[in-house]
């Protein structure tokens, strides 16, 4: 049994990961600041299953507030691995609030790395993003691509900066690191601002679906439990290896065009979508497409969930949640 700190544990991916790590027999220390990007009660519901578990502890703190906040919030018990998921997410909002994204994602990450250094915690799984590839023309996206001039949103820049910081601490302090670039994760507990969540709600209330651009933009949609399986495998890899610094794609290896996604969401809901075409949004990329061969080789990562299965599971969760709220 290992002791694992999960930052952002009350979020969409973090809460699923905490549950998975507990099932795997680990002790989980959860950290979250309940960022007001969406309602706190949603995140508290995400944590409900973990809070009743004897091997889970939760601590509220904001990484932006520096080392003292972390020292005050977290127990002095040994930590074997840190999984750093906490971040201000979203490409569009980052264009409007670049300073907030840099404060959360770059400064906050730096504070965490310094806390790890002072505590002599030597293993980190860092959540990056497919956004760092920007509009790279060569596809699928490989981890060894030159990303010097690819970031086209503050969010993407903040995530690539995080990767560069983890390398700095690997080089200077011997930190073992896996950076994982997530590709459009979806599923139960998904943030309400994300496309699939919005599309389902619009269809269920008889409203048209906004289509930004001509509908040919494509995303490598990855079901949340497949992403979480990749993270859990990454934790096991870090626990079993030293001298590690690597970057992996955790995607599904199949881009889905926007119009195809909307059709699939309509089938999952049982409603024929009505479309409303709009201009492309600033910061959006044309396509994300993960080469997952390195993750397959190192971790045995192999996503199992089809888009049809994943959308059906999301719609079931959303309907159950809404019934429970009545």
Peptide bond into 158 cis (omega under 30): no
Read off the pLDDT of residues 63-111 as tens digits, 9 standing for 90 and up.
Answer: 999 999 999 999 888 999 999 999 999 898 999 999 999 999 999 999 9
- pTM > 0.85: yes or no: yes
**Contact between 291 and 142 (Cβ < 8 Å):** yes
Domain that holds residue 151: 3-183+222-251+291-302
119 occurs within a structural domain? yes
Rounded mean pLDDT, 309-320: 96
Residue 321's pLDDT is 78
pLDDT at 259 over 70: yes
The string of pLDDT tens digits covering residues 158-167 is 999 999 999 9
155 counts as catalytic: yes
pLDDT (average), residues 191-196: 90
Q: Would you state the pLDDT for residue 282?
A: 82
Q: Tell me, what CATH number does 35's domain have?
A: 3.40.50.720
pLDDT in tens, 125-152: 999 999 999 999 899 999 999 998 899 9
The CA distance from 8 to 30, in Å, is 7
3-state secondary structure of 47: helix
Residue 38: the pLDDT is: 80
Residue-level pLDDT at 76: 86
Block residue for tokens 């972390």 = 70
Whether residue 270 has pLDDT greater than 70 = yes
> What three-state secondary structure class fits 217?
coil
On whether residue 137 sits in a domain, the answer given is: yes
Confidence of residue 284 (pLDDT cuts 50, 70, 90): confident
Residue 175 placed within a domain: yes
Provide the pLDDT for residue 17: 98
pLDDT band at 169 (very low <50, low <70, confident <90, very high): very high
Which of these is catalytic: 155, 169, 237, 301? 155
Number of domains in the chain: 1
pLDDT for 326 equals: 35
Quick check: 316 pLDDT over 80?
A: yes
Q: pLDDT band for 37, please (50, 70, 90 cuts).
A: confident
Q: What is the secondary structure of 66-102 as a DSSP string?
A: -HHHHHHHS-SS--SEEEE------HHHHHH-HHHHH
- 209 three-state secondary structure: strand
- Residue 36 included in any domain: yes
Task: State residue 322's pLDDT score.
Answer: 58
Please tell me the distance from the alpha carbon of residue 16 to that of residue 189, in angstroms, as a whole number: 9
Region 190-207: what's the mean pLDDT? 94
| pLDDT grade for 325, boundaries at 50, 70 and 90 | very low
């Amino acid at each position: 049994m290992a002791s694992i700190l999960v930052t952002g544990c009350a979020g969409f991916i973090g809460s699923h990961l905490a549950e998975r790590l507990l099932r795997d027999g680990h002790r989980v220390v959860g950290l979250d600041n309940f960022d007001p990007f969406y309602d706190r009660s949603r995140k508290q519901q995400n944590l409900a299953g973990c809070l009743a578990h004897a091997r889970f502890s939760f601590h509220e703190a904001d990484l932006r507030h520096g080392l003292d906040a972390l020292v005050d919030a977290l127990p002095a018990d040994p930590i074997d691995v840190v999984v750093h998921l906490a971040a201000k997410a979203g490409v569009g909002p980052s264009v409007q609030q670049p300073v907030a994204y840099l404060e959360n994602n770059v400064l906050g990450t730096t504070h965490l790395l310094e806390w790890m250094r002072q505590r002599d915690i030597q293993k980190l799984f860092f959540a990056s993003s497919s956004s760092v590839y920007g509009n790279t023309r060569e596809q699928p996206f490989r981890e060894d691509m030159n990303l010097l001039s690819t970031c086209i949103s503050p969010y993407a820049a903040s995530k690539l900066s995080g990767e560069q910081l983890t390398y700095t601490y690997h080089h200077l302090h011997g930190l073992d690191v896996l950076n994982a670039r997530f590709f459009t994760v979806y599923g139960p507990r998904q943030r309400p601002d994300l496309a699939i969540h919005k599309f389902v709600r619009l269809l269920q209330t008889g409203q048209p679906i906004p289509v930004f651009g001509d509908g040919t933009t494509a995303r490598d949609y990855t079901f949340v439990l497949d992403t979480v399986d990749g993270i859990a495998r990454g934790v096991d890899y870090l626990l079993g290896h030293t001298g590690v610094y690597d970057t992996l794609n955790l995607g599904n290896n199949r881009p889905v065009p926007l119009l195809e996604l909307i059709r699939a969401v309509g089938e999952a809901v049982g409603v024929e979508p009505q479309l409303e075409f709009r201009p492309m949004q600033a910061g959006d990329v044309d396509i994300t497409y993960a080469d997952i061969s390195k993750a397959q080789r190192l971790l045995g990562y192999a996503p199992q969930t089809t888009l049809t299965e994943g959308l059906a599971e999301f719609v079931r969760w959303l309907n159950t949640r809404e019934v429970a709220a009545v």
